[in-house]
C-alpha cells in the first residue's frame, strides 16, 4: 500500500460546478497537509496548507482534513476553465525542516466552458 | 512571496554528456532544498534532500554518483546529471523551504527543467 493514494482521474466538469478532490493516506503521523496545483510542464504551485484536522477556506477553495479517517479533500467552488490543471496532495509529519513531502499521484482536472 | 527559479528551463544533450541544473531561491535563504523527478503523468518522486554546507541525502534507488548535488550557498543548489542516458530524460523540479516559525514551513517549487537526452 502506498503512503498516499490519489485518484489520477481525469476528472471533467462543466464550468461553475463544485469540484471535490481527495486523498487518503496510511501514515497516522502525518500532520501537515498541502494541496498543489500544477499546470502542464510547470512546477507545482502551493494552493493551500492545513495543520492537523479541520477546515480551511481561501476564496473558492476549501481544504478539509479528517485525521481519524486519514482522508483529506479539496473543494473548488464555481470552477473555472483556468482551474484546469493537475492537483497534487502532499503531506508530511511535523518535524524539522528536513522532512520531505510525500505526494499523491495527482488528479487531472478539466473544467469545460 | 517566495520565488524559486531554475535554469535552464529546457535542455537537450547527447548521451554520455553531463548536464548541470541550477535551483535558486530568489528572495529568501533556503537551508534545505529538495530535488524531484517527474515522468509524464506521474507524481513527483523525491530524489534527494540538499542541505547547505553538507552532503545531500539521497533516496533509495537514486545513484549519488550519477546525480551530483551541490548546495554551496543558502540560495543556490545544483544538480548535475553525469553521463546522461536517454532514460534520464525527465522533468526535474527543485523546491525550497521558506524559513518560518512554528509548523508552517511552506515548500516552494521551481518551474522545472525538462531534460531530453538523445
Segment B32-86, tens digit of pLDDT: 899 999 988 788 899 999 888 888 999 999 999 999 999 888 899 999 999 999 9
**Per-residue pLDDT, B111:** 93
Interface residue B7 vs chain A (CB under 8 A): no
**Per-residue pLDDT, B101:** 41
A49 → closest Cβ in B4, B41, B104: B104
Q: What is the mean pLDDT of residues B14-29?
A: 94
For residue A112, give how far its alpha carbon lies from the nearest alpha carbon of chain B (Å): 20
Per residue of chain A (113 residues), what is the pLDDT tens digit?
578 999 888 999 999 999 999 999 999 989 889 999 999 888 898 898 888 888 999 999 999 999 999 999 999 999 999 999 999 999 988 655 567 788 998 999 999 99
Interface residue B11 vs chain A (CB under 8 A): no
**Per-residue pLDDT, B13:** 95
Q: Coil, helix or strand for A83?
A: helix
- Alpha carbon of A11 to those of A2, A14, A108, B115: distances in Å? 22, 10, 6, 29
For residue B45, give how far its alpha carbon lies from the nearest alpha carbon of chain A (Å): 8
Contact (CB, 8 A) for A92 and A33 = no
pLDDT band at B1 (very low <50, low <70, confident <90, very high): low
Q: Which residues contact B106 (CB under 8 A, 6 or more apart)?
A: A34, A46, A49, B2, B97, B98, B100
Contact B42 A105 (CB under 8 A): yes
**Per-residue pLDDT, A96:** 58
Q: Coil, helix or strand for A82?
A: helix
pLDDT digits (tens, 9 = 90+) for B94-108: 998 766 644 445 778
Amino acid at each position: 500500500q502506498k503512503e498516499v493514494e490519489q485518484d489520477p482521474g481525469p476528472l471533467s466538469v462543466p464550468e461553475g460546478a463544485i469540484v471535490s478532490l481527495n486523498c487518503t493516506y496510511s501514515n497516522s503521523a502525518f500532520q501537515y497537509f498541502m494541496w498543489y496545483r500544477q499546470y502542464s510542464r510547470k512546477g507545482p504551485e502551493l494552493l493551500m496548507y492545513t495543520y492537523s484536522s479541520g477546515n480551511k477556506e481561501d476564496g473558492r477553495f476549501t481544504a478539509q482534513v479528517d485525521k481519524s479517517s486519514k482522508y483529506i479533500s479539496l473543494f473548488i467552488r464555481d470552477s473555472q476553465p483556468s482551474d484546469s490543471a493537475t492537483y497534487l496532495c502532499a503531506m508530511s509529519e511535523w518535524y524539522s525542516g528536513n522532512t520531505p513531502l510525500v505526494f499523491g499521484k495527482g488528479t487531472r482536472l478539466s473544467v469545460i466552458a | 512571496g517566495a520565488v524559486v527559479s531554475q535554469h535552464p528551463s529546457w535542455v537537450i544533450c547527447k548521451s554520455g554528456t553531463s548536464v548541470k541544473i541550477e535551483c535558486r531561491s530568489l528572495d529568501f535563504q533556503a537551508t534545505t532544498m529538495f530535488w524531484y523527478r517527474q515522468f509524464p503523468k506521474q507524481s513527483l518522486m523525491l530524489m534527494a534532500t540538499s542541505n547547505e554546507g553538507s552532503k545531500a541525502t539521497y533516496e533509495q534507488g537514486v545513484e549519488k554518483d550519477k546525480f551530483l548535488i551541490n548546495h554551496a550557498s543558502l540560495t543556490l543548489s545544483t544538480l548535475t546529471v553525469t553521463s546522461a542516458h536517454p532514460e534520464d530524460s525527465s522533468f526535474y523540479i527543485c523546491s525550497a523551504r521558506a524559513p518560518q516559525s512554528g509548523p508552517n514551513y511552506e515548500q516552494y517549487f521551481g518551474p522545472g527543467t525538462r531534460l531530453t537526452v538523445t
